[in-house]
Amino acid sequence: MTTNLLKAIKNLHDIKGAALLFGKGGASRNRVNSVGESLEEFVKDLFCNSLTEAEESKYKTHSKHFSYLGAKNSPPDIILRNSDAIEVKKIESLNASIALNSSYPKDKLYADSTLIQDDCRKCEDWDVKDFLYVVGVVKNNKLLSLWFVYGDCYAASKHTYERISNKISNGLSELGDIELSETNELGRVNQVDPLKITHLRIRGMWGIENPNKVFSYISLAKSDNFFMNALILDEKYNSFPEVDRSELEKLQDGSFKIQNVEIKSPKNPANLLNAKLISLVR
C-alpha cells in the first residue's frame, strides 16, 4: 500500500524525544541524525517510515513508495507512487520567504508543463497531480519547524503566473531588432554585440511568502523547540483512507490537534475554503 501525508504525520508524531537533529555530528536521543543529512532525506523517510532503517536497504523501501525522485533545480523533488507530487524547501528563519527560483508557485502539477523533466512526465501515466509543499526551518542542524501545505491552499492557478511570464517574453519579441532563441526561461537574446559573440539569458526568480505569514490569521501551532503545521482542504483530507484518518484522529491530545478551519481561497480571497489544520508542538 502506498504512503500519504497522514502516514507521514503519524510517523513524525511517533518520533520520541524533543530535538530533531541533522548531520552525523549531531547528538539526538531519537537518532534523526542517523537517517540522512538533508531535510529532503528526512521527508522521504517520514513518508516511508524508514527513519531507523539501514542505509543499505533504504533505497528499496523508497522505490516501493516513490515513482520519481527529482532532478536538481526542477520540481518536484518527490512523487508518491500514484499520488501526490512533493517539493521540499529548506529555510533558516521562521519568517523567511521561500525561493522558488525559475518555478512559479503551483496549485497542482501538470504533465504538460514545459518546466518539468521528461523522466518526471513519464514516471507514471498521469495528467494532473496534487502538489504538496514541505517547508522546514533548519538552523545549526536542528529542525525548528515543519510545514505541509497543499498548493491549492497556497497558490493561485497557473494562468495567474503564466500571464506575467508571457507578457515579459512577448515584450521582448516586440523589440524587433534582436535575435531571440526558444527557451524555458523568460527569454534569451543572442548576438547582442557587434562581434555577435554575447548572449543574454533572462530568468525568472520566483519567491513566495512563508506559510507562517500567509496563514497567520488562523490558529497555528508555535513552539520555541519544534512545531509542525499541515493544511489540507477538506475534500483532500476526506479522500485519504479512513483507516489513516482514524489512526491520526485518535492521537489528538494537548500537543497534537486536528482542527476545522476556514482559509482564504488563493484564487479569490473573498471566498473561504473549508480545510483541516493539523498541528504538533514539542
pLDDT digits over 213-232, tens only?
A: 999 999 898 888 899 999 99
Confidence at 264, pLDDT banded by 50, 70, 90 = very high
Q: CA-to-CA distance for 236 and 218, rounded, in angstroms? A: 19
pLDDT of residue 19: 56
Which of 53-57, 87-91, 116-120, 175-179 is predicted with the least confidence, judged by mean pLDDT?
A: 175-179
Do residues 271 and 279 lie in contact, with contact meaning Cβ atoms separated by under 8 Å? no
State which residues form the domain around 88: 5-157+205-281
The residue among 19 and 237 whose pLDDT is bigger is 237
Largest CA distance in the chain: 71
Mean model confidence pLDDT for the chain: 87
Residue 200 lies in a domain: no
Residue 169 lies in a domain: no
Residue 163 lies in a domain: no
- In this prediction the pTM is 0.89
Confidence at 35, pLDDT banded by 50, 70, 90 = very low
Residue 184 lies in a domain: no
What does DSSP say about strands 142-150 and 227-233: parallel, antiparallel, or unpaired? parallel
Which of 45-54, 138-147, 189-198, 229-238 is predicted with the least confidence, judged by mean pLDDT?
A: 189-198
Phi, psi dihedrals of residue 184, rounded to the nearest 5°: -85, -10
How far is the CA of 83 from the CAs of 158, 223, 278, in angstroms? Answer: 20, 31, 20
Residue 175 lies in a domain: no
Confidence at 1, pLDDT banded by 50, 70, 90 = low
Q: What is the mean pLDDT of residues 37-66?
A: 90
Confidence at 33, pLDDT banded by 50, 70, 90 = very low
Residue 108 lies in a domain: yes
Total domains present in the chain: 1
**10 Å Cβ neighbour count for 161?**
19
Share of the chain above pLDDT 70, in %: 88
Does the pLDDT value for residue 30 go beyond 70? no
pLDDT of residue 25: 43
Q: What is the mean pLDDT of residues 124-138?
A: 96
Residue 165 lies in a domain: no
Does the pLDDT value for residue 101 go beyond 90? no
Confidence at 118, pLDDT banded by 50, 70, 90 = very high
Per residue in 167-217, pLDDT (tens digit) is 777 777 667 667 667 777 777 788 877 778 787 777 778 999 999 999 999
Residue 98 lies in a domain: yes
